[in-house]
Copies of this chain bind each other. A is one copy, B any other.
Amino acid sequence: MLIVMSPEASADQIDAVCRRVRELGFTPNKIPGAGRTAIGITGNPGPVPPELFAHLPGVSECVRVTKPYKLVSRETKKEPTIIDIRNEKIGDGSLQIVAGPCSVESRDQIMKCAEVVQQSGAKFLRGGAFKPRTSPYLFQGLKDEGLKLLDEVKRNFDLRIVTEALNTETLDAVAQVADVIQIGARNMQNFTLLQAAGATKKAIVLKRGMSATLQELFLAGEYVLAQGNYNLILCERGIRTFETMTRNTFDLSAVVMMKHHTHLPVAADPSHGVGIDWAVPALAKASVMAGADVIMMEMHPDPARAMSDGQQSLDFPAYLKLAKELAELQKWKAGN
């Protein structure tokens, strides 16, 4: 932390800031400048909130020097985190595909999807039983019935289940079925849910909030790791910007930043990122090259009749073609 004093700050004001720093148990370091003085803080074990000083008389600005996150940081843990989910590894340099419908809609629909996902060679099926919907008038998922169907998939296919926990009330039921609990973008800063999900010790995929900075995503991850649960996957799924031609703005730089600054595996979700089915294949391949460990995709036996996200869901032939291409691209990448 660097406290920058205003040009008019008096010697007394500067001393008062230094005293406050000492009161808090840290060490102030005065740095006299041409026009103004700055005070560096050292001796702090972790990050110091700027708000402790920003308001003291004569203070112009507080500048963070150390990063505010710690457990997720690659500075703290250098080796990459590898998560083992029933003998499938995430984060070890391989590429995992997570595919399935937005919502579980019926037994027939989810079994058809499971067959095609298994046929494609992917090891993970996604599907929502509880759906967060912007409007109360839209389909909210099959709920417990949906979980039962996912459990049936789990018992009958070599597929691991990724499904969303919407709230603490239904977390336990979700955790019974899910191999990976999804925390959705709208819940990225639902700290109660993050802690409860972390405490299950299940693997978690945490989607970046629609307008969350990467630093906020890392801090949200910190809530999970602070529960002693390191089985966390960070997921880029598009952010909100001024552009309206795509559903969101898919931020592939975020994948590169997550891999660089944290030790956690990273997922990319081009289906939500762009929101248009025909644009998914190009962006899925781009995600692989950007360094994603996991590609999450929506597919559906009949996208035109999907109860949610039909416009961004691949039909089966398109999905199978893409899964094959991704496997080939990954093979090429591993060999180069």
Contact = CB atoms under 8 A, between A and B. Distances in A.
B34 A44 contact: yes
Interface stretch (A49-57, A80-88, A154-162): A49-57
Shortest 3 CB-CB distances between A and B: which pairs? Answer: A211-B211, A285-B289, A286-B286
A57 B304 contact: yes
A210 B211 contact: yes
Nearest to A215: B245
A174 interface: no
Interface string A263-276: 00000000001100
Interface in A280-304: 282-283, 285-291, 303-304
Contacts of A291: 282
Nearest to A33: B42
Interface residues of A, number: 109
23 contacts: A2-B63, A2-B65, A29-B31, A29-B32, A51-B306, A51-B307, A51-B308, A55-B306, A63-B65, A68-B137, A133-B191, A134-B216, A134-B219, A135-B219, A137-B222, A186-B190, A211-B211, A215-B245, A249-B253, A252-B286, A253-B279, A285-B289, A325-B336
A182 interface: no
A60 B126 CA distance: 28
A223 interface: yes
A328 interface: yes
A320 interface: no
Interface string A14-58: 000000000000000101111110101011111101111111110
A287 B283 CA distance: 9
B304 A279 contact: no
Contact of A252 (B75, B137, B192, B250): B250
Contacts of A118: none
A336 B56 CA distance: 30
Interface string A181-222: 000001101111100000000000000001101111001101
Contacts of A243: 213-214, 239, 251, 254
Contact of A2 (B2, B138, B222, B313): B2
Interface string A293-336: 00000000001101111110100000000000100110010001
Contact of A286 (B137, B287, B336): B287
